[in-house]
Amino acid sequence: MAASLACSISILLIAIVSAAGNFNQDFDVTWGDGRAKILNNGQLLTLALDKGSGSGFQSKHEYLFGKIDMQLKLVAGNSAGTVTAYYLSSKGSTWDEIDFEFLGNLSGDPYILHTNVFSQGKGNREQQFYLWFDPTADFHTYSILWNPQRIIFSVDGTPIREFKNMESRGVPFPKRQPMRIYSSLWNADDWATRGGLVKTDWSKAPFTASYRNFKSEASSAAAPWMSQQLDATNQQRLAWVRRNYMIYDYCKDSKRFPHGFPPECNTA
């Protein structure tokens, strides 16, 4: 009796843990020939990159709007030339996409967090940031809140970027095409670190990035996050990030847009 009670309690606990995200249930390894591994009963996923190949995975589910958190610990040490991409994307030639890309660096030099938003196949909306911590020393939470009015990128709960629905100005907004979650670790030493000047040091391979604590909420009309916006405190935090950690904003790059910025840049 006691044994069977203990047994059903442990089954219940397993069920609760996996509801919070289990890599075996929620994701498929899609490439990398054994370099991507799901470990600890689905609680941890690792991607590896060596000279032969990178690796990647994707979600089984598709999301049409979502609130998605993932903890990542990036390639440590000399990660120059490597890119860890973590993004949502739909399919087809007029796809939508919401990107986090982490560009590695030499030991002690900062990673760049590169972000972009594609709507109906058009991106060119890059913003880049340094982080206020070492993203290789521990796991940190990278979140995407995507509702019909806005997309908010956050790091450890601090918003770093907001892309608002500006359909009223003729800017397409992702809202009809369901997206999957994708992640991959690959070699991009032709452009990633100092614009491609620093090459991948293959003597340091394999390079490894780790994932845990995946949480997702698919949309339901009643979910509060479906109409969530940045409150005053979070607007201040976003401004703090932009002031101190933003290193590139396409909306400030007048050389690139000599004839005027894209309409979504004019937030006045």
Ligand X SMILES: *[C@@H]1O[C@H](CO)[C@@H](O)[C@H](O)[C@H]1NC(C)=O
Active site residue 217: no
CB of 12 to ligand X, least distance (A): 45
Helices (H), the chain: 2-19, 23-26, 232-244
Any idea which residue has 């109906």 for tokens?
120
Binding of ligand X by 199 (CB under 6 A): no
By beta-carbon proximity to ligand X, the closer residue of 11 and 197 is 197
Any idea which residue has 């620093």 for tokens?
198
Binding of ligand X by 26 (CB under 6 A): no
Exposure on the CB side of residue 13, measured as CA atoms within 13 A: 6
CB of 110 to ligand X, least distance (A): 5
Helices (H), 32-122: none
Binding of ligand X by 91 (CB under 6 A): no
- Site size toward ligand X, by CB under 6 A: 8
Stretch that binds ligand X, among 33-41, 54-62, 143-151, 189-197 (CB under 6 A): 189-197
By beta-carbon proximity to ligand X, the closer residue of 63 and 186 is 186
CB of 113 to ligand X, least distance (A): 9
By beta-carbon proximity to ligand X, the closer residue of 103 and 145 is 103
Quick one: which H or E segment has residue 88?
strand 82-89
Binding of ligand X by 110 (CB under 6 A): yes
Binding of ligand X by 89 (CB under 6 A): no
Q: Please tell me whether the peptide bond between 110 and the residue prior to it is cis, using omega within 30 degrees of 0.
A: no
Binding of ligand X by 109 (CB under 6 A): yes
- HEC secondary structure over 196-265: HCCCCCHHHCCEEEEEEEEEEEECCCCCHHHHCCCCHHHHHHHHHHHHHCEEEEHHHCCCCCCCCCCHHH
Residue from the set 193, 200, 208, 212 that interacts with ligand X by CB under 6 A: 193
Binding of ligand X by 103 (CB under 6 A): yes
Sign of CA dihedral 188, 194, 199, 202: negative
CB of 140 to ligand X, least distance (A): 17
By beta-carbon proximity to ligand X, the closer residue of 194 and 199 is 194
Which pair of structure tokens corresponds to residue 248? 């590139």
Active site residue 126: no
Which pair of structure tokens corresponds to residue 131? 């982080």
Residue from the set 112, 144, 145, 238 that interacts with ligand X by CB under 6 A: 112
Q: Cβ–Cβ contacts within 10 Å for residue 131, how many?
A: 18
Where does this chain bind ligand X (CB under 6 A)? 103, 105, 109-110, 112, 192-194
